[in-house]
Amino acid sequence: MKRHYDGENNPFDFLDEEDNTETQEHVTIDEAGGRSFLEETSAEFTHPIEADERQNNVQHIYGWIALALSIVSFFFIPFLFSIAGIIVGFVARNRGSVFLGISAIVVGALSFLFNLFLLPMM
């Protein structure tokens, strides 16, 4: 089947009616000579986001949220935010953000104990 193209750069001008595209060998652009190929090359320039990169970002977000909850618990609704920071800290630690998770657990526990025992005596 011959394809007809009326433009100057006909990408199919090398095909004859008798050519079978299944048995033709693949010709690269360097081997093509004077032939013109219309092809999209944008996929070659993009860097695909790996699933591991995305997972690492999500894991660290849990750690940062836990640490923020634990720090906020020193200033605002201490019992609620410190317990929330401890729980989210355990979730972050189990998801791979070990340092941030443990930091949130320690800061949340210190806030809880400070507000439970030391703040009423002041």
The secondary structure of the chain as a DSSP string is ------SSS-TTTT--TT--TTTSPP--TTTSTT-------GGGT--PPPHHHHHHHHHHHHHHHHHHHHHHTTTSSHHHHHHHHHHHHHHHHHTT-HHHHHHHHHHHHHHHHIIIIIGGG-
Inform me whether the pLDDT recorded for 116 exceeds 80.
yes
Higher pLDDT, 35 or 121: 121
Inform me whether the pLDDT recorded for 100 exceeds 80.
yes
- Domain ranges within the chain, ordered by starting residue: 51-116
- Give 24-80 pLDDT, tens digit per residue: 566 666 666 555 555 555 555 556 666 666 666 667 899 999 999 999 999 989 899
At 120 the pLDDT is: 78
